[in-house]
Amino acid sequence: MAMTPTRRRLDRTHYLYIFVIVGVAAGIAVGLAFPEFAIGLKPIGTGFVALIKMMITPVIFCTIVLGVGSIAKAATVGKIGGLALLYFIVMSTFALAIGLVVGNVLNPGSGLDLSAAHYTVDAAAEGGTAADFILGIIPATLVSALVSGNVLQALLIALIVGFAVQGMGAKGLPVLNAIRIAQTVVFRVLMMIMWLAPIGAFGAIAAVVGASGGKALVGMATMMFGFYITCILFIVVVLGTLLRLVSGLNIFSLMKYLAREYLIIFSTSSSEAALPRLLAKMEHLGVSKPVVGITVPTGYSFNLDGTAIYLTMASIFVSNAVGKPMSIGEQVGLLLFMMLASKGAAGVTGAGLATLAGGLQVYRPQLLDGVGLIVGIDRFMSEARALTNFTGNAVATVLIGTWTSQIDKVQVANVLSGRLPFDEATMSVDDHGPAELETATR
């Protein structure tokens, strides 16, 4: 009896994205057709943002503690890990800088009217001396920061715990495993909340469109256009120039080699889905196993160029939409916090939203209501964000391999020219470079 081939089940998150798009479209339609009624739907978006706000502290604590462990692991491998971490910091700075420039030129969100939205601002956030601010970061007890909702206190405790566990060596592994399990639970709860995103996006966008009319649509379109332009500029100009100067390769040749991975990312909106294939393809390209094994996994947590650009644009968009634009100093401080708080949460649905909300809560709590509007247009930017992250890690692997002389240039030429195609059936790879390259990093 012939067996019927099993059909691959569609990832449930695909339905979530579809529902969000439907919610956005419905919100726009209601806002344009029934503006007064739509304005009354604002509490729906506010309630969804409150649920996201509830998850900020546990998300940041778990990701930072595990992220510090990742830094320690990369740093122990010597030259490759240290060089990779330094490169990731520099490139994240470039991504933030480009996002700031484009964001301040386009001013996405200008003209929207969310000024009526407000959150209760903690006294510590309203002012006080520098000493008051610093002392306010220190929690009353080790665990009180995790329940008080103070994001900076949670960040401080996470860093302290992370470095303490790191100093324990092998004895700290059970603690890291326990936190990893807790992170799984936290992200599962976050995913459950994200299933309410279509309703939250509907309420938030309906209220904004009802109050601002066509200005809301123009603001959202400007935000998405600016983000896509920024990602393209970063890939072609920054990454392309670096790749050409250091390795002599063309960015488009590398992207053509990774075409199938781009299709996977585009269909899933997550670069995580292409991680195993990137590991295999970078080795097949001619980069040594130690460089690939260190750079790619670490880069997936610390080299999030697309995410950095997204957080930049989203912050400027929200502040302009609320009618309280941030100064350049506030933007830089906010984004440095987000860059640190987002480490270790790559590819997790809703984690970027929680990070954005956490940063706004620290610096400008009155801007939190604008996060509901970001939910509606996030889906339209997720592919560009994931593709930028993925391209950044592919380029980083080639660059680190070149700088450490652990790349087979003949193999690179043969692979990119098509003379040595990647074996899609077995995904087998070869070790390129002398065996002592591996032992040199141990």
57 occurs within a structural domain: yes
pTM of the model: 0.70
Are the CB atoms for 158 and 61 separated by under 8 Å? yes
Query: What are 108-130's pLDDT values in tens digits?
Result: 766 665 554 443 334 334 444 45
Contact 373, 353 (CB under 8 A): no
Contacts of 282 (CB under 8 A, 6+ apart): 292, 296, 394, 397, 398
- Structure confidence by residue, pLDDT tens digits, 68-93: 766 665 555 567 777 888 898 888 88
Total number of domains in the chain:
1
In angstroms, rounded to a whole number, what is the distance separating the alpha carbons of residues 191 and 48? Answer: 13
Q: What is the pLDDT of residues 36-66, one digit of tens each?
A: 888 888 788 778 777 877 877 787 788 778 7
Domain that holds residue 325: 12-440
- Indicate whether 7 belongs to any domain: no
- The CATH number linked to 240 is 1.10.3860
Indicate whether 396 belongs to any domain. yes
Look up residue 304 and give its amino acid: L
Does 71 map to a domain?
Answer: yes
Q: Which two tokens stand for residue 409?
A: 């240039």
Residue 5: per-residue pLDDT = 44
The answer to whether residue 116 sits within a structural domain is yes
Q: Which residues contact 39 (CB under 8 A, 6 or more apart)?
A: 207, 210, 211
- What is the percentage of the chain residues whose pLDDT exceeds 70? 75
In a domain, 5, yes or no: no
If DSSP codes are grouped into helix, strand and coil, which group holds residue 31? helix
User: 């002012």: which residue's tokens?
Assistant: 127
